[in-house]
Structure 1
Amino acid sequence: MTTKGKVLVLVSSGHGLPLKDGKVYTGAGYYLNELTVPVRTLMGEGYEITFANPKGNTPQMDVHSAVPDFFGGDEAKLQDYLKFRDTLDGLKNPMRISDVIASGLDQYDAVFVPGGHGPMMDLLDDPDAGTVLRHFHQASKPTAVLCHGPISLLAALPNSTEVVAALAAGDVAGAHAKAQGWIYSGYKMTIFSTAEEQQREPLEIGGKVRFYPDFALSTAGGDVSVLAPWTSYVVHDRELISGQNPFSDHALLKLLLPALDGKKKSVSAS
């Protein structure tokens, strides 16, 4: 069977999100709907999916995401998507991002980074993730990032580790200075908001994140906007399509699918 194309999905290798005061949220990982809703739709449209993460290990699902709330309140739909997730052999055995790079990034039509706190653990300053993002940027190929997924855009900085360390230390001026020349500087984008994170901190992660994602991207030079908590919101600027929160999954697809089709026809997607 011929495929319509290939989409690369980057997930985390991490099994613990470092928090302030030395705490760790061990349940961090990908959010079920943010990964499975777009992936299932893309597969249904004929795209082949390749999962990759830094270590090539099985990524962790955030248990707080396996609830009906993120599937329209429908328990049956939640169970259906859990079953679908279990059919994804590539998710159980992802490639290493370094091996994906070695095999050639030209074969992929888009890259997608779902959220959950996973990207906050390792993708945000992973040099290989940075190589992938710079490739898709230079080739103007769709780059879709959802919820906490947009934090991975920091990896495109050559000194992302220093920028992330400055953010974690509260050195805003230092982080901003170190982020000069970021390929996404000035891009309109969205990401999980401070208000949303502050609502989830006591309920989900039992502590405070080292820095808030929207503030981090703004500090790095992104033109960040967010709507009221839990509102579906997606922003499209050039090759970048970003969604604010778990409820933005379908809206993200509504922009990603035409962008992929536009790329196929070698016309720039509006």
Structure 2
Amino acid sequence: MSKILFVVTGADRLTLADGTTHPTGFWAEEAVAPHEAFRAAGHEVVVATPGGVVPPVDRASLAPEANGGRENADRIAKALRSFTELRRPVRLEDVRLDEYAAVFYPGGHGPMEDLAVDPGSGRLLTGALESGKPLAVVCHGPAALLAAVRADGTNAFAGYEVAAFTNEEETQGGLADKVKWLLQDRLTEAGVRVRAGAPWAPNVVTDRNLVTGQNPASSAPLAEELLKRL
């Protein structure tokens, strides 16, 4: 059995361009589906957040309309209650990368608020990338890649091909004209090559030891891909 590190946002709101805030957190399915897959395969999961705060779930991610209906929404809510590691996170600042076999970042808009500018998370991501151990990131989770800046000012993921929540999906979701910046644009500016798939359809991209998924529908296939690498 291996230990897999889940790095989860601690932000419960996203600051918009006009200075107001939008309630957020981590997206339930993007945490639940990989957690279920990793635990079923016999692996241990440890959750880390900035400051060790209990990560907030984005309440919108529990709504029936976000999960294809009430039945699946209820299943995800039940699975979330069983994800007990979320209630006892460790401090991201105290994480020793060599204790883990793989690293996973779920999404939700929360990472755009905290992990995108968290230097400790950036160092962890750079270390995971350089170590060659499996690193998986989904949806808005790739916002955290923006903090992985080397001493020379370049991004550690520049030149890598990734999947991430797209401008088109942000537009269809109703926030594109409200947020301070768009994830696809900011990643591209950092030299990261975003390979966009159809909106809301599964899209998993692998590049060396990095595995990325575009949206909530990509979380389960992304977990499967990471398990193949353990």
The TM-score by the shorter chain falls in which range? over 0.9
Contact 1:33/1:70, CA 8 A, preserved across alignment = no
Q: CA deviation at 1:251?
A: 1.9
**CA distance in 2: counterparts of 1:181 and 1:117, whole angstroms:** 24
Structure 1's consecutive aligned runs of 4 or more residues displaced over 4 angstroms after TM superposition are none
Structure 2 unaligned regions, length at least 5: none
| Corresponding letter in the other structure for 2:74 | Q
- Note if 1:8 corresponds to 2:10: no
Contact 1:20/1:209, CA 8 A, preserved across alignment = yes
Match of 2:167 in 1: 194
**CA distance in 1: counterparts of 2:220 and 2:88, whole angstroms:** 26
When normalised by structure 1's length, the TM-score is: 0.80
Aligned residue for 2:112, secondary structure, equals helix
Q: CA deviation at 1:201?
A: 2.4
Structure 1 unaligned regions, length at least 5: 160-178, 261-270
- Residue 90 (structure 2) aligned to one of 77, 91, 95: 95
| Corresponding letter in the other structure for 1:135 | G
Q: CA deviation at 1:221?
A: 0.4
Aligned residue for 2:52, secondary structure, equals coil
Match of 2:206 in 1: 236
**CA distance in 1: counterparts of 2:161 and 2:73, whole angstroms:** 32
Q: CA deviation at 1:78?
A: 2.5
Q: CA deviation at 1:212?
A: 0.5
Match of 1:130 in 2: 122
Match of 2:72 in 1: 77
Instruction: Report the RMSD for the aligned CA atoms in angstroms.
Output: 1.8
Q: Percent identity?
A: 37
Listed one character per residue, the Cα deviations across residues 186-219 of structure 1 (whole Å, up to 9, x for unaligned) are 10111100011111125xx9x6111110111110
Aligned residue for 1:137, secondary structure, equals helix
Match of 1:51 in 2: 47
Match of 1:115 in 2: 107
**CA distance in 1: counterparts of 2:65 and 2:225, whole angstroms:** 23
Match of 1:22 in 2: 19
- Residue 217 (structure 1) aligned to one of 165, 187, 190: 187
When normalised by structure 2's length, the TM-score is: 0.94
Q: CA deviation at 1:87?
A: 2.5
Structure with bigger gyration radius = 1
Listed one character per residue, the Cα deviations across residues 50-87 of structure 1 (whole Å, up to 9, x for unaligned) are 0011021111111111134554x353333232122112
